[in-house]
Amino acid sequence: MKVLVLTEYPPSAAGLATQGQLFCQGLCEIGVDVHPVHFESPQEKEWYYRWFQPDVVLGIGFWGHVPHLVLHPQQFGMKAVPWLVADGYVAAHHQVLNALPLVLVTSNWVKETYIRDGIKGDNIEVLPVGCDTEGFAPRGRDDPKVRAIREALGVSDDQLMILTVGGDAASKGGQEVMSALASIDAAAPSWRYVCKVWPQPRTVEQNIIDLQLAADLGIGSKVIFSTNVVSRNFMPYLLAACEIYAAPARLEGFGMIQVEANACAKPVIAIDAMAFLDTMVHGETAFLAKVAEERTISETILENGQRTVFPCPRTVEYRASVPDIARYLLTLMQDRGLRRRMGEAGRKHVTELFDYRQVARRFVKIVSDRLGIR
């Protein structure tokens, strides 16, 4: 089998780029002939079509990337298979997606979202994102690279580090985590809450709002925002530096960092919705806070300016229960043995189900079964 992967290449540290990088690595390691190419590079893609003559062109992105991932390879007679996430509402390309023999999505929640928004569903298969379980592995606090991160962040040995990572903190549930921490501060052991976010204009604005919330809650001195560009080399050690990974995200089509945190043997606090129903096991590898609120919209304005009114409101964001988060945080903060047991269970779960080589093998089987390509 020869596979051309349309992805962000060369890869950045972003989620979709990492998804593509690990997928190519997994295919290569199990003996599949594979090449990556940037999904927005028509000339280089055509070059590969002509000399490589792939059996499958696998494109990674969301529904808005369909012209790059599907229509372009189809112009050259290629068999296109998109591997898609969702961003709350599938606004276009329904006819193209419905005509495909195979569409891959990252979770059952993404599949449900596509079906809800008019994709027929019988051509959709769930393929989770792969995790590098060798790079993301358990490490002790005595590891000099782990210790260096805690020192640089100003987290002392006697403090528990709770961590959230994202483009911004609020979209990953950071405001709910701060509210929960404020409510248990008097009963909890000494702690610091670290939000590692990506430097971009919207993040700068959101950081100001989030830091003001921390001040209003009376925990401003215990909340640390780290706004830096980092590489994938840094992330396993950042996750290893925390005791609890808390990210009850408001919208999540897979939740790669939650899975990576489990791979590092860290207990996770997430939300009882979306992709976490696929990736986390409540009470074993993670605590899933109940949904307290669903944010819905009744209409939207598309990129072409067209106004679309939905026959039924669409849920585009979830908010986790702050009392649930508070209860789970306090339970984990007070019980080192529980943190260890849940972390070990999380590591085992990720290794068995989400290792990037396992994902590559699943892809080969799906393509063989669905498309008859071997």
Architecture field, domain 144-353: 3-Layer(aba) Sandwich (3.40)
Q: Where in the chain is the domain with CATH 3.40.50.11930?
A: 2-127
304: pLDDT strictly greater than 70: no
Angle at 124 between CA 127 and CA 78, to 5 degrees: 90
pLDDT tens-digit readout, 157-172: 999 999 999 999 999 9
The pLDDT value given to residue 300: 72
Q: What percent of the chain has pLDDT over 90?
A: 86
CATH of 2-127, one of 3.40.50.300, 1.10.260.40, 3.40.50.11930, 3.40.50.620: 3.40.50.11930
Report yes or no on whether pTM surpasses 0.85: yes
pLDDT tens-digit readout, 226-275: 999 888 899 999 999 999 999 999 999 999 999 999 999 999 999 999 99
298: pLDDT strictly greater than 90: no
The pLDDT confidence band at residue 291, using thresholds 50, 70 and 90, is very high
In terms of DSSP H, where are the helices of the chain?
15-29, 42-52, 66, 72-75, 94-99, 108-116, 144-153, 174-184, 201-216, 235-241, 256-263, 276-279, 322-334, 336-353, 356-371
Tokens of 263: 């791979």
The pLDDT value given to residue 302: 61
Q: Where in the chain is the domain with CATH 3.40.50.2000?
A: 144-353
What average pLDDT score do residues 77-83 get?
98
